């Protein structure tokens, strides 16, 4: 079964967007880690850490889907 170029382009785009969101989440976490922490700031920092992990998982899922489609298209497995 052949995968269309437009489908591959869409998967690549989803992966790129997910990576961009992951980078933003990392930068938010980094910004919070670079301040003097009050109790409220620590809670925000911990929340940002959770958001980063969620964004990372989303990017990994998009990467795996895109890689699987490329393997199917080029290597038939």
Would you state the pLDDT for residue 28?
96
Would you state the pLDDT for residue 36?
76
Residue 35 Ramachandran class (φ > 0 left, ψ -120 to 50 alpha, else beta): beta
Domain that holds residue 34: 5-75
Number of folded domains that form the chain: 1
pLDDT < 50 stretches in the chain:
none
Would you state the pLDDT for residue 1?
64
Instruction: Enter the pTM of the model.
Output: 0.88
Would you state the pLDDT for residue 26?
98
- H-assigned helices in the chain: 5-33, 39-75
Would you state the pLDDT for residue 58?
98
């Amino acid at each position: 079964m052949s995968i269309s170029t437009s489908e591959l382009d869409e998967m690549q785009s989803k992966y790129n967007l997910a990576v961009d969101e992951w980078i933003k989440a990392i930068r938010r976490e980094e910004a919070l880690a670079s301040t003097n922490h009050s109790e409220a700031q620590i809670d925000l920092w911990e929340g940002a850490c959770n958001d980063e992990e969620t964004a990372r998982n989303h990017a990994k899922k998009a990467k795996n889907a895109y890689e699987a489609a490329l393997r199917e298209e080029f290597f038939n497995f």
